[in-house]
């Protein structure tokens, strides 16, 4: 039985934050919630967690309404990180575990295990404020899973992490998946989604514009992407337009990207190139990237939004 978000609606005053958002997540899967800032990701998550109540709609996990579920069902990593700065790491983790009803002995054992996994065992008796941002984020991740929740909800878990820590966190995600946990995370970094998620939902202005298994979402785009590089680059790319069925041609740094409808055989492009006598150095048939899918559905690039977000220091969290 899965996590079902069923047409939830939420208004903040005159602003409609969520307008009938629906999606479902299979147990034991990793689910990506994509959307620009202000699209409604955080609000959706808060409503699933029952720290906000929807005006309309319902959320169920394994058939039970989220309002009736114990709080230890969920593990939550909020987008805005925060811990008690002057509390010791170990003490702080045990405090949060205790709030979820975890015994002190279990909390100690689990804390040690996870600190070891993240290679920060030395920091257990240090104050949180003495730790780097990346390490604080790891502590916060541990705080959200010490009580062994069935569902993990992570709001932008990768933002602000360096590549090494991104890798550690991904490994932790896969570990949790192996333990049979269900993971939901939001992001606008598409690489992480491509790498981790089995299914996604793209949210835009309070509505789900597309959702489902990543494979199905990609297929539903109805096109294939062909990446082509030849040694005859000097001829330009104009001649490619003549090939029937080719919809869009983009010159990249060292290759050309062509869009071909799903019902056409991309092999015709290869044949056309060979007929010209050019030798092919790269020929690749791919599905459209999530980035492309996102841009096409949302109509703007997620990254631009994130930069905008960074530029504005104060922002209303009514998202």
Partner 1 sequence: MSDLFPNAFHVARREYLVRVRGRAFVITTALLALAIAAATLAPTILAAFGVADAPRIAVDVQADDLTSDPVLAIQTALVVSADPDADPAGEHDTEGRARVTRADNPETAAQSVRDGELDALLTITRDDRGELAFEYLGSASPTNRTRLLITGAATAIAISDRLERSGIGQQEAAAIFEPPSFTAMPVDPADARDSDEFGGAFILAYALVILTFMAILTYGNWVAQSVAEEKSGRVMELLITAATPRQLLTGKVLGSGAAGLTQYLAIVAAAIIGFIANAPISQSVGIGGQSPISLPDLNAWMLLAFGAFFLLGFVLYSTLYAAAGSMVSRIEDVQQAVGPLIFLSMAGYFASFTGLNDPDAGWVGVLSFVPFFSPYLMPARMLLTSVGIGEILVALAILAVTLIAAMLLASRIYSAGVLMYGQRVGLRTLWRASRVSR
Q: Which residue lies nearer to partner 1 by CB, 51 or 237?
A: 51
Distance in Å from the first CA to the final CA of the chain: 29
| Residues in the chain, total | 319
* 210 phi and psi angles, rounded to 5 deg: -155, 145
For the bound state, the minimum distance from the C-beta of residue 171 to partner 1, rounded and expressed in Å, comes to: 23
Chain contacts with partner 1 (rule: CB under 8 A): 10, 12-13, 46, 49-55, 67, 70-71, 74, 76, 78, 80-87, 95-96, 98-101, 140, 143-144, 314-318
With respect to partner 1, which residue has the nearer C-beta, 51 or 274? 51
Of 83 and 290, the one with the shorter C-beta distance to partner 1 is: 83
Q: In whole angstroms, how close is the CB of 29 to partner 1 at the nearest point?
A: 22
Reference 184, options 58, 311, 292, 77; nearest CA is 77
The token duo for 310 is 């960074």
How many Å separate Cα 257 from the centre of its chain? 26
In the complex, minimum distance from the CB of residue 149 to partner 1, in angstroms, rounded to a whole number: 10
Q: In angstroms, give the least distance from the CB of 83 to partner 1.
A: 6
Q: How far is the CB of 316 from partner 1 (least distance, A)?
A: 5
Among residues 17 and 202, whose Cβ is nearest to partner 1? 17
CB closer to partner 1 out of 10 and 223: 10
Measured from the CB atom, is 53 or 179 closer to partner 1?
A: 53
CB of 9: closest distance to partner 1 in angstroms?
11
């Amino acid at each position: 039985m899965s996590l079902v978000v069923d047409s939830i609606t939420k208004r903040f005053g005159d602003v409609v934050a969520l307008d009938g958002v629906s999606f479902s997540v299979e147990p034991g899967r990793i689910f990506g919630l994509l959307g620009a800032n202000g699209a409604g990701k955080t609000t959706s998550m808060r409503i699933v967690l029952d720290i906000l109540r929807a005006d309309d709609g319902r959320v169920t996990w394994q058939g039970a309404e989220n309002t009736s579920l114990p709080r230890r069902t969920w593990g939550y990593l909020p987008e805005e990180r925060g811990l008690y700065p002057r509390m010791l790491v170990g003490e702080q983790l045990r405090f949060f575990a205790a709030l979820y009803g975890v015994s002190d002995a279990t909390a100690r054992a689990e804390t040690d295990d996870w600190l070891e996994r993240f290679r920060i065992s030395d920091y257990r008796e240090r104050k949180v404020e003495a730790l780097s941002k990346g390490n604080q984020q790891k502590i916060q991740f541990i705080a959200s899973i010490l009580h062994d929740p069935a569902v993990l909800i992570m709001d932008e878990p990768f933002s602000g992490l360096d590549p090494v820590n991104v890798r550690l966190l991904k490994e932790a995600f896969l570990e949790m998946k192996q333990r049979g946990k269900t993971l939901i995370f939001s992001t606008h970094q598409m690489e992480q989604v491509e790498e981790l998620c089995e299914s996604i939902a793209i949210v835009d202005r309070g509505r789900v514009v597309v959702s489902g298994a990543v494979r199905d979402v990609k297929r539903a785009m109805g096109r294939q992407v062909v990446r082509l590089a030849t040694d005859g680059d000097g001829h330009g790319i104009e001649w490619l337009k003549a090939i029937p069925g080719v919809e869009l041609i983009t010159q990249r740094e060292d290759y050309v990207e062509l869009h071909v409808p799903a019902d056409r055989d991309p092999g015709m492009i290869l044949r056309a190139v060979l007929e010209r006598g050019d030798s092919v150095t790269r020929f690749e048939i791919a599905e459209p990237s999530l980035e492309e899918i996102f841009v096409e559905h949302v109509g703007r690039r997620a990254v631009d939004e994130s930069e905008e977000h960074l530029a504005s220091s104060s922002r209303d969290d009514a998202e």
